[in-house]
């Protein structure tokens, strides 16, 4: 009896622990359809996406540029942020599905976006894995890394199949982080207060951006999860648990 009781307690503990684990992210792209909280923005018709194997897979055509106001062919998945001044956004991206490395002339990552002022901050792996950087814009005022002074060299965080990104918003300040090993060892690429005042409550969105420009090629990227910890998760833990438990039984 003691043996069966112990096993029952073990199963309960396992269930509780695994439920917390699988219910950790706002969206883990477990499909089959993109959650209704997302708005898919693709004015140039440059993207094609599907949910497959617990990932958001995006096929991006060459020349999907998003630049100064008037150049608007990038692809974004957007949602409303929490109604608060302080929160964080996290995601995992694999940019190395194309022959094991990031393609040239593209950037994929987290975006803060205010359309009426054409204000945005894009944070992610850049141009054949050169680095992880911020490029941002307000109207016709565009900043590269040497102007924004926000970035992380590839020697510090490898640009490969496992790039973890995080943006922390504190009032009008944004700080940008990346890591190669999940929630451990986050490295800061720097902070910015120029764009923050434009991200007023109810006037902007956050999400995922993918863009490419001259010299780019048709490419594919995979997103494993997207999270805003301050928003309660809506992941279907039951489905994930069944898959995980089935794996454990093998």
Q: At residue 240, does pLDDT exceed 60?
A: no
pLDDT digits (tens, 9 = 90+) for 205-232: 999 999 999 999 999 999 999 999 998 7
Task: Specify whether the backbone of 41 is left (phi greater than 0), alpha (psi in -120 to 50) or beta.
Answer: beta
Q: Taking residues 245-249, report their average pLDDT.
A: 29
Neighbours of 204 (CB within 10 A): 22
Can you give the pLDDT at residue 184? 76
Q: What letters, b where the CB count within 10 A reaches 16 and e where it falls short, cover 78-88? A: bbebeeeeebe
pLDDT > 90 in the chain, percent: 78
Residue corresponding to tokens 């039951």? 238
Which whole-number Å values give the CA distances from 158 to 42, 68, 167, 209, in the listed order?
A: 29, 29, 18, 20
| pTM for the predicted model, two decimal places | 0.85
Domains of the chain: residue spans and CATH: 27-232 (2.60.120.200)
**The pLDDT of residue 105 is above 90:** yes
Q: Count other C-beta atoms under 10 Å from residue 9's C-beta.
A: 10
- Whole-angstrom CA distances from 60 to 12, 76, 127, 211 are 44, 11, 14, 8
| Residues 131, 159 contacting (CB under 8 angstroms) | yes
Which residues neighbour 96 within 8 Å (Cβ) at sequence distance 6 or greater?
A: 102, 129, 159, 160, 161
User: What value does the mean pLDDT take over residues 138-167?
Assistant: 97
pLDDT the model gives residue 15: 41
Residue 18 reports pLDDT greater than 80: no
Average pLDDT of span 144-156:
97
Distance from chain centroid for Cα 241:
23
Question: What confidence tens digit (pLDDT) does each residue in 68-103 have?
Answer: 999 999 999 999 999 999 999 999 999 999 888 999
């Amino acid at each position: 009896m003691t043996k069966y009781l112990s096993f029952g307690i073990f199963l309960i503990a396992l269930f509780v622990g695994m439920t917390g684990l699988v219910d950790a992210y706002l969206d883990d792209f477990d499909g089959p359809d993109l959650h209704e909280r997302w708005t898919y923005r693709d004015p140039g018709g440059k993207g094609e996406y599907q949910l497959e194997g617990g990932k958001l897979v995006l096929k991006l055509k060459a020349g999907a540029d998003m630049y100064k106001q008037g150049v608007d062919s990038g692809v974004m998945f957007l949602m409303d942020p929490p109604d608060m001044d302080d929160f964080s956004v996290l995601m995992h991206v694999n940019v190395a599905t194309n022959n094991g490395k990031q393609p040239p002339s593209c950037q994929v990552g987290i975006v803060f976006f205010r359309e009426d002022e054409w204000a945005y901050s894009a944070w992610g792996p850049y141009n054949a894995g050169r680095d992880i950087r911020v490029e941002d814009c307000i109207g016709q005022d565009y900043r590269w890394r040497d102007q924004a002074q926000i970035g992380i060299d590839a020697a510090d965080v490898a640009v490969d199949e496992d790039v973890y990104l995080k943006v922390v918003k504190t009032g009008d300040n944004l700080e940008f982080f990346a890591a190669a090993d999940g929630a451990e060892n986050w490295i800061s690429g720097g902070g910015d207060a120029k764009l923050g005042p434009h991200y007023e409550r109810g006037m902007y969105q956050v999400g995922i951006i993918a863009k490419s420009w001259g010299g780019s090629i048709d490419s594919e990227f995979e997103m494993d999860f997207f999270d805003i910890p301050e928003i309660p998760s809506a992941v279907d833990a039951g489905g994930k648990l069944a898959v995980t438990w089935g794996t454990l039984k093998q």
